[in-house]
Structure 1
Amino acid sequence: MAQTNVETNASAGRVLTITRIFSAPPALVFDAFSDPKRMLQWLGPRDYPASYVESDMRVGGTWRACLDSQASGEKLWHGGVYREIVPGKRLAFTFAWDQADGRPGLETLVKINFEDQNGKTLMTFQQSEFDTPEDCDGHREGWNSAFDRLEELLAQD
């Protein structure tokens, strides 16, 4: 008799995990996450591309970005603090959207591993923990769209 796995813990549906294989070495993929000029070329979904990125790339340093709606002009500011930086291997940082009053909203933790796969990169991206499964799903759509853009950028290198 087959068993069905059912998530029963408190974080069910509120942890986002995305894996991608990029046709570029880990150092190049890591650079795309650490260089603000490169981030401007891919960060954000297609309909909300980044218009601003700044980064103090050191443990304890901050990052900040703005995504602009192509349709309405809405600006979505967000930022966080770097928690771990291992060039070409790992990156971890907090992530929070700005609220209407300018203060940060719910803080999540993003952890990214970059693993060499014969000259390509296996990226494992995890963001947690969201308030609701719907928030998690929204980020899944947004990050996947951004990673599609990243894949296109890496293909140009």
Structure 2
Amino acid sequence: MSTNVSNSREAVISADKDLPKVTITREFDAPPEQVFAAHIDPEIFAQWIGPDRYQVTIDRWDGKTGGSYRYSTGDQWFFGSFHEVLAEDCTLVQTWSWEGMPGAVSLETMTFTELPGGRSLLTSVALVDSMEAQAGMLASGMETGINQGYAKLDAILAEGQ
């Protein structure tokens, strides 16, 4: 991994006070197409998703509209469906579930927007089942996995430039 990449950039995680919605934004020093591809390509995805302490295992992955996925981080399994994979618009709509909480589903829309200087902004809007689910999501410590994961993605993207 590249050592000249700053890992100090953090995602901004915000919760809507009236709706069971969580929004995550994060800037990257890479074009939107590359950041989008890193969310769809299972080989790249497995290198960066989640906290540093976990090894990711991909059980299944079909990164296209109508496809599905299942992967683990350590002993935690996650699965979902790719509802829309729109490479030309750099937009991804998917469901996401943690097997440890049966019946709980998050509907997530991710947009990858071009910024000046070959950079991009990722905006992820997740709708969850209830305000309780939103509170649980925020209390889960997800910011550690998000920030460590995206720091790893920064390094991967820097190596590819």
Shorter-normalised TM range: 0.7 to 0.9
Which protein has the larger Cα radius of gyration, Structure 1 or Structure 2? Answer: 1
Q: Residues 37-92 of structure 1, C-alpha deviation per residue, up to 9 Å, x if partnerless?
A: 11111011212342325321222211111101xxxxxx111110111111151001
Where do residues 108-119 of structure 1 align in structure 2 (5 Å cutoff)? 108-118=106-116, 119=118
Aligned to 2:42: 36
Aligned partner of 1:72 in structure 2 is none
- Structure 2: gaps of 5 or more residues: 1-15
Q: How many residues align?
A: 139
Contact 1:39 1:53 in 2 (8 A): no
Partner SS state of residue 59, structure 1: coil
Partner of 1:99: 100
Whole-angstrom CA distance in 1 between matches of 2:123 and 2:30: 15
Instruction: Please identify which structure carries the higher helix content.
Output: 2
Instruction: Give the structure-1-normalised TM-score.
Output: 0.78
Is this contact kept in 2: 1:18–1:126, CA < 8 A?
A: yes
Residue of structure 1 equivalent to 2:128: 129
- Report the identity percentage: 29
Q: CA deviation at 1:8?
A: 5.1
State the SS of the aligned residue for 1:40.
Answer: helix
In 2: Cα distance, 1:28 partner to 1:76 partner: 27
Unaligned stretches of 5+ residues in structure 1: 1-6, 69-74
Cα distance, 1:128–1:140 mapped onto 2, change above 3 Å: farther
Letter of the 1:122 partner, please give it: L
CA distance in 1, matches of 2:72, 2:17: 36
Structure 1 residues 28 and 53, CA gap change in structure 2 (3 angstroms): farther
In the superposition, the TM-score normalised over structure 2's length comes to 0.76
SS at 2:48 equivalent: coil
Which residue does 1:147 correspond to in 2?
Answer: 150
The secondary structure found in structure 2 opposite 1:114 is strand
Preserved contact between residue 59 and residue 83 of structure 1 (Cα < 8 Å): yes
What is the CA–CA distance in structure 2 between the aligned matches of 1:148 and 1:85, rounded to whole Å?
Answer: 24
CA distance in 2, matches of 1:144, 1:17: 14
